[in-house]
Structure 1
Amino acid sequence: MRSIFTLALLSGAMTGLSQAETLDWSEDSTRALKSALDSNTYGTATSVLILHEGQTVFEHYAHETNEETLHNTRSVTKTVTGMVLGAAIEDGAIDTATPAAAYFSDLTPFENPDPRKFEITIEDLLTMSSAMECDDWNQYSNGNEERMYLVEDWNSFFWNLPIRGFPSWRTPPEKAPYGRAFSYCTAGVQMLGEIVERAVGEPFSDYAERRVFAPLQLADFKWSRSGSGQPHLGGGLELSTRALGKLGELQRLNGMAGDDQIFSVEWAAQSISVKAEIPDTPFSYGYLWWLMPYEVDGTEYIAAAMSGNGGNRVFVLPEFGITAVFTNVDYNTPSMHQNASRFFQHEIVARLN
């Protein structure tokens, strides 16, 4: 187990607001968090990285990992896909109002034909609110991701799905907040990556590496791939803890990486603006970002989070200048997301003022 603590932060060696105004952190904080992680208080956490105004406050590795370990943070990949799409928008290649099916004329006619398929926009896919019957949280859904993994052609898998129905006990889009009925759909995110590839005329992985990873100096990563060789854009991208921190910082800094504008300030803002409510949770959803409310001194804020199976999270708190990475390997366990939330509340929120 290894921890790194940057004392320069305690002396105020940072930009922006002073630490006293935003984050109470001390050597005691470091010892307490290290002890909690060593005792598996938050499950099998493999790493934690906390950045404040770009400076490292705390960095810790456990369970045979280190700063070079590539972590499979599962659906955290979805948010990365959204960042790459934001870069394509910055390049003028894509408009979120465009019907997504326009990029897949080679697959027509679709099975289960319905004109509403041609009305699904890129924004619908970004917000998990398309008309397709695709729900990873329902094992009986035609579009459940586990069914997609069984076939080679993921593009056809998505577009051949039926349109979802709304029986009387479910809220249709026209009666839902923000006019969107949320349904968590990995296959739809896969289509977003395919759209980027077709729009820019370059393999998605090459474009992502050139436009997003290279400016952030991310050289070590590993894509999961489909049976046809396409990168899996809804999960499985392996990155180091520090790389995840850089991606979180890219959002916090409104798309800036050094002197490079990877995606626009507007895209950064829209990505973490509420677009849909997530039923039966206190959370909402932006453009492939989870939006999680928290309270400091009686004021409510929203943390933007990349979130993946196992309890993996990258939290971005713009108002407080904080990016925090939490990696965990408790895949498919009942407590995985609760552990990530407890870490956030007890170790981050409790130290804000």
Structure 2
Amino acid sequence: MRSLLAISGLLASLLSLPCTAAPPDPARLQALEHAIASDELKQIRSVLLQVDGKVVYEGYFNGADAQTLHDVRSASKSVTALLVGAAIGEGKLPGVHARVYDYFPAYTALHAVDPRLRQTTVEDLLTMSSLWECDDENAFSAGNEERMYVTERWLDFTLGLPVKGFAPWMQRPADSPHGRAFAYCTANSFVLGAVLEKATGQPLADYAARVLERPLGITASHWNRSPEGIGMGGGGTRYRSRDLARLGQLVLDGGRWQGRQLLPRGYIAAMIQPQAQAGDGSDYGYQWWGLKLVVDGKPQTVWAMSGNGGNYVFVLPQHRAVAVVTSQAYNRSLAHPQSRRILTEFLLPALR
């Protein structure tokens, strides 16, 4: 299942490793490949591990290769968060406390907006804690993403959502961890992309290419757009596996790439620290997940980009490592557990 390109790439990477980095344990990597080949791990498309910026393992499966553009679904949200950091660094956005509705005067001129919603900030969207009644995990929610997708104007749909109510069994913001009531809402991320387009004067894909992709050497990607032509900051972006690793390395290095500070270090630090708490107990930063995993037999928080199907970019400062898993196990309950297992059972033990 593994391509000759993957094998030759692995050998070249091992030969180029600095003397401080030991080669990964081949037995663990062979066990990983066996688990994929036997369909114990299902619909995995690629696994990549790099240490100190060097690829030490790279495997492609189920028809993928090094040039495949992987649909990472909601891992796109984490890229949008990086773009918010770039816009703040450039002075295009005044900061995470910029008010969202201020960027859409044409909408507010025609629609009455609840004063509480008028206070919505970029940080509220980054942390999935806006007061819009929007919850992708609740099929009855007014803002559920499936309802947005079948409308003609996604932006008007979201800006017009009602204020969230709090049933007796729900935590209000004041009683929630970090003072934020978390609800996973793709519309939040979509509006972030719309704010970026207004603030920068560029389509989202063009802005991403200018401030993030070209500086990182990423030459191929794909961004979706809404029916009204707004860049989709909430999902469906496509990247090659090595380019996903570049995004992870940028975060690992505090927004710095090849001697150049692409994103503000302080913003990156805030992005991967707990800002809210998800319903499953995970931490949530600025569109990045603080996953609670068992590593080396001990509970540990691992920061990651995460998307439907089991698509991940894991950032591991203590190992100086970035790990990428792409998968097409969309909407399957096994997707996320098996991708996390690849990290904790195969990749990290291979480094010891």
TM-score tier after normalising by the smaller chain length: over 0.9
* Deviation sequence 1:131-160 (CA, Å, 0-9, x none): 110111111111011111111211111110
Q: Is the 8 A contact 2:309 2:327 kept in 1?
A: yes
> 2:293 matched to which residue of 1?
294
In the TM superposition, residue 187 of structure 1 has moved relative to its aligned partner by: 0.7
Higher mean C-alpha deviation, range 301-310 or range 340-349: 340-349
> 2:18 matched to which residue of 1?
14
Shift in CA distance, 296/12, structure 1 to aligned 2, threshold 3 Å: farther
Q: Is the 8 A contact 1:244 1:314 kept in 2?
A: yes
Q: Is the 8 A contact 2:31 2:346 kept in 1?
A: no
3-state SS of 2:222 partner = coil
More helix by share: 2
In the TM superposition, residue 11 of structure 1 has moved relative to its aligned partner by: 7.2
> 1:137 matched to which residue of 2?
137
> 2:198 matched to which residue of 1?
198
Within 5 Å, which residues of 2 pair with 1:37-48?
Answer: 37-48=36-47
Q: Is the 8 A contact 1:10 1:19 kept in 2?
A: no
Counterpart code for 2:25: S
Within 5 Å, which residues of 2 pair with 1:230-245?
Answer: 230-245=230-245
* Deviation sequence 1:273-306 (CA, Å, 0-9, x none): 0011111x23110000011133445654321111
Q: Is the 8 A contact 2:29 2:350 kept in 1?
A: no
3-state SS of 1:215 partner = helix
Within 5 Å, which residues of 2 pair with 1:184-263?
Answer: 184-263=184-263
Shift in CA distance, 347/87, structure 1 to aligned 2, threshold 3 Å: same
In the TM superposition, residue 351 of structure 1 has moved relative to its aligned partner by: 4.2
* Deviation sequence 1:127-186 (CA, Å, 0-9, x none): 000111011111111101111111121111111000111111111110011001110111
Counterpart code for 1:60: G
3-state SS of 1:323 partner = strand
Partners in 2 of 1:108 and 1:206 — Cα distance?
A: 27
3-state SS of 1:305 partner = strand
**May I ask how many residue pairs the two structures share in their alignment?**
347
Within 5 Å, which residues of 2 pair with 1:1-353?
Answer: 1=1, 2=3, 3-4=6-7, 6-7=10-11, 13-14=17-18, 18-19=20-21, 25-94=24-93, 95-108=95-108, 113-279=113-279, 281-297=280-296, 300-351=299-350
Question: Any gaps of 5 or more consecutive residues in structure 2?
Answer: none
* Deviation sequence 1:107-128 (CA, Å, 0-9, x none): 0157674110011111010000
Give the root-mean-square deviation of aligned CA atoms. Answer: 2.0
Counterpart code for 2:17: A
Percent sequence identity is 39
In the TM superposition, residue 9 of structure 1 has moved relative to its aligned partner by: 6.4
Counterpart code for 1:192: L
Counterpart code for 1:307: S
TM-score by length of 1: 0.92
